[in-house]
């Protein structure tokens, strides 16, 4: 998207948000949304989930909480978790993840291309489950993610 197009879209988006109306674009089912948009929602949910669990451990220092949260939601760790749970996903979830892995986005310097693609797939999966209101499945997937994150922590920080 060119700069002027982006600026025009931002202006319309601010106006739509401020007035509580939807932009004039076709509504899509969560499985049909742009996978990067799914990952955007999934990233937020994932981070909040991890932060709630970290606070629940009683860690009294915000700096320590932030350090652990940043590591556990990093592309590197999310990629590890994705590789461990991907076999447990149903066909629709696998399709969402595959679309997300193939979606174009810039890769941060802190992760390899493969790690970034896998972490994007995991975030898109979470976003898809949130937006499709699959509460039980979301809870089951997040419990798997949490368990594997604990395993990662035991291995990386013995």
Question: In this structure, how many other beta carbons lie within 10 angstroms of the beta carbon of residue 59?
Answer: 14
Q: Are 30 and 38 in contact (CB under 8 A)?
A: yes
**CA 30 – CA 129 distance, rounded (Å):** 8
- Prediction pTM value: 0.92
The residue written with tokens 């399709």 in the block is: 95
- Structural domains of the chain in order of their starting residue, each with its CATH number: 28-156 (1.10.1520.10)
Active site residues: 43
- The confidence score (pLDDT) of residue 40 equals 97
Our measurement of the distance from residue 145's CA atom to the centroid of its chain's CA atoms, rounded to an integer in Å, reads: 12
Sign for the pseudo-dihedral over CA of 35, 37, 42, 43: positive
Q: How far is CA 96 from CA 41, 75, 77, 112, 150, in A?
A: 14, 18, 20, 21, 25
| Mean pLDDT of each 10-residue bin along the chain, 158 residues long | 90 93 86 93 98 98 98 97 98 97 79 93 98 98 98 97
- The confidence score (pLDDT) of residue 50 equals 98
Alpha helices in 105-134 (DSSP H): 113-131
- The confidence score (pLDDT) of residue 68 equals 98
């Amino acid at each position: 998207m060119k700069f002027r197009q982006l600026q025009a879209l931002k202006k319309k988006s601010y106006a739509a948000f401020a007035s509580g109306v939807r932009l004039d674009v076709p509504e899509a089912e969560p499985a049909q949304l742009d996978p990067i948009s799914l990952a955007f929602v999934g990233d937020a949910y994932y981070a909040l989930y991890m932060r709630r669990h970290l606070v629940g451990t009683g860690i009294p220092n915000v700096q320590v909480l932030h350090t652990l949260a940043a590591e556990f939601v990093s592309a590197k760790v999310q990629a590890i978790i994705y590789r461990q749970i991907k076999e447990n996903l149903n066909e629709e979830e696998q399709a969402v993840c595959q679309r997300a892995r193939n979606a174009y986005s810039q890769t941060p310097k802190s992760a390899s291309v493969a790690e970034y693609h896998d972490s994007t797939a995991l975030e898109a999966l979470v976003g898809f489950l949130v937006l499709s209101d699959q509460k039980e499945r979301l809870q089951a997937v997040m419990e798997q993610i949490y368990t594997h994150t604990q395993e990662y922590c035991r291995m990386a920080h013995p």
